Amino acid sequence: MSAVQPVVLRSLARSLRNVRGGKAPVLAGHKLLYRCNLECAMCPFWRRNDEVLLGLADEVRVMEALARAGVSFLGFEGGEPLLRHDLPALLEEAYGRFHTSLVTNGWLLEHRLPEIARHLDVLCVSLDGIGATHDRLRGTPRSFERAVAGIKASRHEVPTVISHTVTRENLEDAERVVDLAEALDVGVTVQVAYDYRGADPMAPAPADLLPTIERLRDRKRSGAPIMESVEYFDAIVGSWYRGTPWRSKPWLTINVDPSGRIVLPCYVLQEYQGGLPAWEVDIRRLWNSFDWAPYAACNRCALACYLEPSLFRWTNLAHLRERVVGATWRYARRAAWAAVHRRPGGVVPTGGGGA
């Protein structure tokens, strides 16, 4: 039996338990560190000086706590996760428990890919624009070239997705990034920059953003490999321009900082629940006693980790087709391919696809 199959069965069991057992997180984002090898204008994390890292044993305790709470999808982020030397061991532990993803700036990707690909379900590589635009926003020459070289190497090893953040300085590049994703035969995920405290204000002015969002929605409709749903773009247009907010379900996502603490409700609001590490918290109890009401109307960000899960409806046929049937099919294809190649947790034969 392929090593990926038990993960699928466990996630199904967790999902069923979640349906019965009140509020529970389904997706987790875990910052493995704040440190970074780049200095992006819009990013607050590389500027922080309060980083405390966990060792492997404590990282596993975090994973166990997340699994107990009901999490099925674990995404690693940072800072720059590829700076962690123990990343392969961390991913191996995670891959036995969750569907795994990681987002990287791609600078070290070609070099580290062989150690990490087999324990990832999806790899996201950030691209803020084409060529000089990306390099300027990332604060480092050659970062575009390095990221694209990483994508070219990874797309044959693991489903690879470009992660594009729309800022006030790259509005014209969004469609070109979609073109690049098509040319490279990978997916692309799009989010809108949020003005974090402590970072350069890079969120686009609402009036300037609208045409870009509408063009991206049109590209999605006409089959571009954009991971977000048409409803995702509709929700941004509705809440920011038409006065019809989407209803946020922030309990579907849990964030864990580098020291293992739960950031509740999210990094944008930067609130923490006490100083305890995740493994010392009864997350299910916290999730069902926390007052979520003030956040149900929170439409401040358009970060896909909150917006897209909040939009999911079991009664929406398009969601069922894309998010449940499509995702299961991609997963089964991957498991079958891995079994044939005798490589547990192996890879799909083509790039593209997504979580």
Ligand X SMILES: C[S@@+](CC[C@H](N)C(=O)[O-])C[C@H]1O[C@@H](n2cnc3c(N)ncnc32)[C@H](O)[C@@H]1O
Which phi and psi angles does 173 have, rounded to 5°? -90, -15
> Is the CB of 270 or the CB of 328 nearer to ligand SF4?
270
78 binding ligand SF4? (CB under 6 A): yes
Site string for ligand X, 106-135 (x = CB under 6 A): --------------------x---------
80 binding ligand X? (CB under 6 A): yes
Residue partners of 274: CB distance under 8 A and separation at least 6: 281
Distance separating alpha carbons of residues 166 and 169, to the nearest angstrom: 8
Distance separating alpha carbons of residues 13 and 279, to the nearest angstrom: 21
Binders of ligand SF4 in range 38-57 (CB under 6 A): 38-40, 43, 45-46
CB 310 within 8 A of CB 296: no
CB 281 within 8 A of CB 260: no
* Minimum distance from residue 126 beta carbon to ligand X (Å): 3
- Binding piece for ligand X, criterion CB under 6 A, among 6-14, 103-111, 223-231, 304-312: 103-111
Structure tokens at 295: 């956040």
46 binds, among ligand X, ligand SF4, none (CB under 5 to 8 A by kind): ligand SF4
36 binding ligand SF4? (CB under 6 A): yes
Please name every residue paired with 256 in a beta bridge, in sequence order, or none if there are none. 30, 262
Distance separating alpha carbons of residues 243 and 221, to the nearest angstrom: 23
Binders of ligand SF4 in range 122-161 (CB under 6 A): 138
* Minimum distance from residue 46 beta carbon to ligand SF4 (Å): 4
Distances in Å between the alpha carbon of 292 and those of 46, 208, 246, 252? Answer: 29, 32, 15, 11
Q: Which residues lie near ligand SF4 (CB under 6 A)?
A: 36, 38-40, 43, 45-46, 78-80, 105, 138
Catalog residues that contact ligand X under the rule CB under 6 A. Answer: 36, 40, 42-43, 45, 77-78, 80, 103-105, 126, 163, 165, 191, 193-194, 196, 199
